[in-house]
Chain A
């Protein structure tokens, strides 16, 4: 797959599976998904002020019979933790795609504490964590995650690692 062709394919996959609400705090790793949602007349593109809004947004979408996804950077995971008690307690389906920092080859030391804590804190809140480290991983992983979230009612996070996204240069 072309260098970032996976991102367009991922957007198409989400839409084909009925995801209509895209909540996000911007990150470079999500640029294509955000731009596609903004250009899509049949989707809601929802910029958030903090990531935990997206957890509650997804719950509200489910109450109304729609599917949402939360796009965020790894640092945003920390902003979501208590709000995930809504998801866990009420058994809301939940799907998030996390662009990683503080990961493979990271050059900014500020990113490591949260980046390295992403997996353990998500797991502590009952979220299933799936990783993508190459472009060939993205579509199979997202396909699995969509089934786990919206058919089995689980909370699922797809981590897009820095082997896939590239480490930001400073």
Chain B
């Protein structure tokens, strides 16, 4: 049987948080942000959390889009807080976008990665982070000026503060256990999502 190299994770504690509580606790008031949510779990939980608010653009495909979409939005709307919420698998698909974002350094942009170490949508295969790849270290090396890792409830308060600090790009790694996100029946007609978001923001 083929085996993957499990990278030693001695400095990383086992995940203990349940995303169904941790994500709402971290975001607190979603209406404070314009949000781009990566496909699958994070788009589902953001739709559930916000009752499909028009301030959330949730991807249903185009894996790897969330970071760059959030960058374009943040540059276009410098007076609004822009938040990207995505999973480890989606982020890994275009991990170079972390470097692209850091070179722009938009002070109104924050990135939250909900890292469950698995591809939850496709059969729960281990993702690279589940085998020891550390996205917080990659974000730091990519040039993010502020990186915060949430392993326990006690780490959430600092994350909440960073999401609302007035100036400064930040990356928050929210490490959660395997398990389903909160879900709601989403509208998956892509152009409706675009039209709704733009109409609410731009009139």
Chain A partners chain B: yes
**Which A residues are closer than 8 A to B by beta carbons?**
20-21, 44, 46-50, 52-66, 68, 82-83, 85-86, 89-92
Q: Identify whether the interface residues of B are mostly helix, strand, loop, or mixed.
A: helix
Cα distance, A92 to B34, chains bound together (Å): 18
Cα distance, A58 to B193, chains bound together (Å): 16
| Chain A to chain B contacts (Cβ below 8 Å), 27 pairs | A21-B72, A46-B103, A47-B103, A48-B68, A49-B100, A52-B94, A53-B68, A56-B65, A56-B66, A56-B72, A57-B68, A60-B70, A60-B75, A63-B57, A63-B72, A63-B194, A63-B201, A64-B34, A65-B76, A65-B201, A65-B202, A66-B76, A86-B62, A86-B190, A89-B61, A90-B190, A91-B194
Q: How many residues of B contact A (CB 8 A)?
A: 36
B168-203 interface (Cβ within 8 A of A) = 190-191, 193-194, 197-198, 201-202
Cα distance, A75 to B14, chains bound together (Å): 42
Are A64 and B72 CB-contacts (below 8 A) given A50-B96, A91-B191, A91-B194? yes
Are A60 and B72 CB-contacts (below 8 A) given A52-B94, A53-B96, A53-B97? yes
14 new A-B pairs (CB below 8 Å) besides A46-B100, A49-B100? A21-B72, A52-B68, A56-B64, A56-B67, A61-B73, A61-B75, A62-B198, A63-B69, A63-B73, A64-B77, A85-B61, A86-B59, A90-B193, A91-B194
